[in-house]
Amino acid sequence: MESTAVTSSSTSTSDAPASTTSDYTPASSSWGNEAYPVDPDVVQPDLGTFGAGFVSGYFLKKSSVAVLSLPSFQEPGSAVDSFSATVTRFLNESKAAGMSKVVIDVQQNYGGDVFLAVDTFKQFFPAQEPSGGSRMRAHYAANTMGDSITDYWNSLDDTYEDWDNFYDDEWLSSTRINAETNRLFNSWTGFYGPHLANGDSFTTTASLILYV
């Protein structure tokens, strides 16, 4: 991705997915915030400073530039799908509108769910694998919490209604991918380790949290 500013990035839309709509009506809702144009061309449901929506897109037709605004990756579970779907729609509709470049605006983005950032990256660059390895300090309390929470998660069935607010818990290993094998950890013990490094103990390096 070719950087155009410290807080923004640009890329061509030539590899974007083909549009699935024949005509597109710009969204009528907006941020209601002076920092943003009044009428986004693409908008996530419940967009707003105090809503669950963060994603908005704007087509600068005179310059053939599409701007994707992502001020946060922190979503409640109920809005995870619409975040990803809005990015997809932005790519489709910017291509349909004839935009030749994209600026990804992450000004003041304070982070959030790693998998949403990875999902967005993969939508722009589906053939590339981002590096996002992480590990935690391994100690008795971490082992106790992780073992208990992972066992509880593994006991749940499809009737559990609140799984989307629980799947990315830092003490849950079942939704994490082993950076070395590129497969899900099959147990908390496999994730926990511990592994010695620089005179301290750490968990096994995990590359991502898998959204299942």
Give 164's pLDDT tier (boundaries 50, 70, 90): low
* Tokens of residue 112, six digits: 């959030």
* pLDDT top residue among 129 and 137: 137
The rounded mean pLDDT for the chain is 82
* Tokens of residue 86, six digits: 């809005």
pLDDT digits (tens, 9 = 90+) for 171-206: 889 888 898 888 899 999 999 999 999 999 999 999
**E-strand spans in 122-210?**
176-178, 195-197, 200-202, 206-209
Distance of CA 63 to the CA centre of its chain: 28
Whether 3 has a pLDDT exceeding 60, the answer reads no
Give the list of residues 6+ apart from residue 160 with CB closer than 8 angstroms, or none: none
- The pTM (predicted TM-score) of the whole model is 0.60
Q: Specify the pLDDT at position 23.
A: 45
pLDDT digits (tens, 9 = 90+) for 67-93: 999 999 988 877 889 999 999 999 999
Q: Specify the pLDDT at position 60.
A: 94
The average pLDDT across 143-152 equals 94
Per-residue DSSP letter, 187: S
* Percentage of the residues of the chain whose pLDDT score is greater than 70: 82
Q: Specify the pLDDT at position 21.
A: 41
* Tokens of residue 73, six digits: 């990756």
Q: Lowest-pLDDT range, 18-27, 36-45, 104-113?
A: 18-27
On whether the CB atoms of residues 93 and 40 are closer than 8 A, the answer is no
pLDDT digits (tens, 9 = 90+) for 89-128: 999 999 999 999 999 999 889 888 888 988 999 999 999 8
Q: Specify the pLDDT at position 148.
A: 94
